[in-house]
Amino acid sequence: QITVQMVCSTAILSSSLALSLLRHSSTPSESFVLSPFSLDSALAIIADGSGGTTQKELTNLLLNGCSPSDVTAHYSSLALSLPSTNESGVAFKSANRFYVDDSISLKKDYQKHVEDKYKVKVENTKLSNKADAATEMNKFVEGATNGKIKDIISADGISDDAKAILINAIYFLGKWKTPFAATSTFKRTFKGAKGDREIPFMSKSARKFKANLENDIGTVLIMPYQDEQYNFFYLMPKEDSNLEKMRNELTGDKLVNVLKGAHDSMVDIYVPKFNIESKLDGVDVLSKLGVKTLFNNGADLSKISATALKVSKITHKAFIETDELGTEASAATAMEMVPMSLRPMITLDRPFLFGILKNDDILFLGQFN
């Protein structure tokens, strides 16, 4: 007997969606990062105000096989569970703002629902005053992302008939459970799609990390942050494969299983320092993934407002930086000296996928090339 819970596996479904978003928004030869959590949260907020075919398309995209109430439960529980301080060594903030033109109003039930379930703040504004509206939104995003994401929207990017703009901004700052010593960072060769280049690699010897070196997909290394609900994973394809092939063949359940297969291993590791900033056109990507009516005159967003609405634009920007202290941080730590021995060596010197997990949920997914 198949239960609803078995069909509606949120970890596998959200991993599948994350991989689909990456495949449809980037080419394998570039470095790229996106936040499935940020995009999905914004879509879940819209889905909760949708009906008919629009709701069906959004529910199928977000959690295929689940009900609309499962979608609400999953994404709102994530939104409500985020820590706002970094006492735990992790600061992860998600901020949702609904900018509503003063010519329309949101339905009271919907506004209360999204305020309660997703901590959405509704701001009434004059969207026809484009320069002021863009300045206000950019200021909000810059503040919510600690200055990392600037200019999410331009004045001429606001259409003349814009009635509402939903913005989801997230910021992650994680400190490694065991930081790298800055004195152990040195240049090595990275064999990328565009040829070999010398880049800084961080290194650590004789440390216990979760790794999965014996599987059909590739090398898995999982590095915990101080708050161990959060982890950074690397997945480098096997020698006889490449990033393009792995991206095409990887499914949500394969990704979940290969990560779950990682176990404590004493290893020497060499991982690149990097920072990546990316931008994507959400309408283009989501149209390829089966969301059609949301963007045309057939859109049913009747639970949001009495005014007929459709979505005309989705802009997503993401930024990630990893260094010796963690993800999005910078400082030096004392040098660590350990004896040499014959241990498995993990050297991430070819293109790889990476991501930040909260338990089983992918907050960020990207590729380094």
Residue 173 bridge partners (DSSP): 91
Closest by CA to 76, choosing from 50, 103, 42, is 42
Q: How far apart are CA 68 and CA 255, in angstroms?
A: 25
Per residue in 320-363, pLDDT tens? 888 888 865 333 222 323 333 456 778 889 999 999 998 888 98
Provide, for the chain, the percentages of residues in helix, strand and coil under a 3-state DSSP scheme, each rounded to the nearest 5: 30, 35, 35
> 176-275+322-368 has which fold?
Alpha-1-antitrypsin; domain 1 (2.30.39)
In this prediction the pTM is 0.88
The span from the CA of 266 to the CA of 221, in Å, is 12
CA–CA dist 56, 36 (Å, integer): 19
Q: How confident is the model at residue 5 (pLDDT cuts 50, 70, 90)?
A: very low
Question: Which residues in the chain are classed under CATH 3.30.497.10?
Answer: 4-174+277-320
- Residues 234-244 have a mean pLDDT of 93
Q: Is residue 365 predicted with pLDDT exceeding 90? A: yes
Q: Contact 280/287 with Cβ under 8 angstroms?
A: no
CATH class of the region 4-174+277-320:
alpha beta
Q: What is the mean pLDDT of residues 230-259?
A: 94
pLDDT at 113: 93
Calculate mean pLDDT across residues 152-177: 85
Q: What is the mean pLDDT of residues 138-152?
A: 86
- Give the DSSP letter string of 275-334: EEEEEEEHHHHHHHTT--GGGSTT---TTTBSS-------EEEEEEEE-SSEES------
Look at residue 251 and tell me whether its pLDDT is greater than 70: yes
Using pLDDT thresholds of 50, 70 and 90, give the confidence band for residue 8. Answer: low
State which amino acid sits at residue 33. Answer: V
264, β-bridge pairs: 210
Cα 218 to Cα 213, 259, 349: the distances in Å are 7, 11, 13
Look up residue 183 and give its DSSP letter: G
As a whole number, the mean pLDDT across the chain is 85
At 10-55, the pLDDT tens digits run 788 889 999 999 999 999 999 999 988 888 888 899 999 999 999 9
Q: What is the pLDDT of residues 306-316, one digit of tens each?
A: 888 888 888 88
> Mean pLDDT throughout 217-233?
92
| pLDDT of res. 158 | 84
What is residue 15's DSSP assignment? Answer: H
pLDDT tier, 197 (very low <50, low <70, confident <90, very high otherwise)? very high
CA dihedral 243, 247, 251, 253 (to 10 degrees): 30
CA torsion angle 52 54 56 58 (round to 10): -150
Sign of dihedral through CA atoms 149, 295, 38, 131?
positive
Higher per-residue confidence, 205 vs 365: 365
User: Where in the chain do CATH 2.30.39.10 domains reside?
Assistant: 176-275+322-368
Q: What whole-number distance in Å separates Cα of residue 207 and Cα of residue 342?
A: 13
Q: How much is the pLDDT for 361? A: 86
pLDDT score for 338: 31
